[in-house]
Amino acid sequence: MEFKQTQITDILIVEPAIHKDERGFFLETYREALFKSAGIQNRFVQDNHSGSVQGTLRGMHYQVQRTQGKLVQVVSGEIFDVAVDLRRSSPTFGDWVGEVLSAKNMRQLWIPPGFAHGFYVLSDWADVIYKVTDYYAPEWDRTLLWNDPDIGIGWPLINGGLLNISAKDAAGSRLRDAETFN
């Protein structure tokens, strides 16, 4: 397993060691000791699974209390996965990272607490699984506007705009109005 830094050093791409033969493949998706040696000390408390059709955008979600770190992986299909830094004390506050995760590349993305997270489905269907470091707490759940011009996320929208989004996600807060972290 290899851990690669992104433009925001706290967000890591996890490249698994894939062992392939004529039967298929095997890989480890998580090994505590390796994650700890990469600086990820967080304990995971829950696994989630999301299935979505092409053009679905989920996000940008975060919790202002009971913050969640997320380890995101795609087991079928392909997504564009995004994290936005909401830590005001960070030199990368308001910056974003976007990575294509797919069943084919088998990469994972580690997003620590203090970031908004979302993804856009590029394939006909995508199954996304992710580990979280704290439980969902609806009273602390917030949504950052997916297309805030002050952030400028470069979403690769299909056919110039195929978008399936919930009313909650479409009505997210602009960064300038959002609750953020110190």
Q: Which residues are catalytic?
A: 61, 130
Distance of CA 71 to the CA centre of its chain: 7
Q: In the 8-state DSSP scheme, what is residue 7?
A: S
Residue-wise DSSP of 39-93? T--PPP-EEEEEEEETTBEEEEEEESSS---EEEEEEESEEEEEEEE-BTTSTTT
Residue 113 neighbours by CB under 8 Å, 6+ apart: 42, 67, 68, 69, 133, 134
